[in-house]
Amino acid sequence: MNAVKIPMGRDKKIALVAHDNMKRDLLEWATFNRDLLAHHVVYTTGTTGSILERVPRREAARSRD
């Protein structure tokens, strides 16, 4: 059986779903990978989406006073 290569764009559509007892782990994973996820389209279920909306997309730049 020959492998077939399918061309894909750089940006992907990613679905993130977590059962209730795994939502904290998904939040930690999404926070760690937020820069990698930033240019993709991310789909979630209702509760998972509201939790992930709290993940900052980028670090805020702070000025020195």
Query: Running DSSP on this structure, what letter comes out for residue 53?
Result: T
Instruction: Please answer whether residues 52 and 30 qualify as being in contact, where contact means their C-beta atoms are separated by less than 8 angstroms.
Output: yes
User: What is the per-residue pLDDT for 55?
Assistant: 75
Pick the closest to residue 46 from 21, 23, 14 (CA basis). Answer: 23
DSSP-assigned letter for residue 52: H
Residue 9: what pLDDT? 85
For the stretch 56-64, contacts whose Cβ atoms lie closer than 8 Å and that sit 24 or more positions apart, written own/partner, are 58/34
Per-residue pLDDT of the chain (65 residues; tens, 9 = 90+): 789 988 888 888 999 998 989 999 999 999 999 888 888 998 998 888 888 888 776 544 444 54
Looking at residue 54, its pLDDT comes to: 80
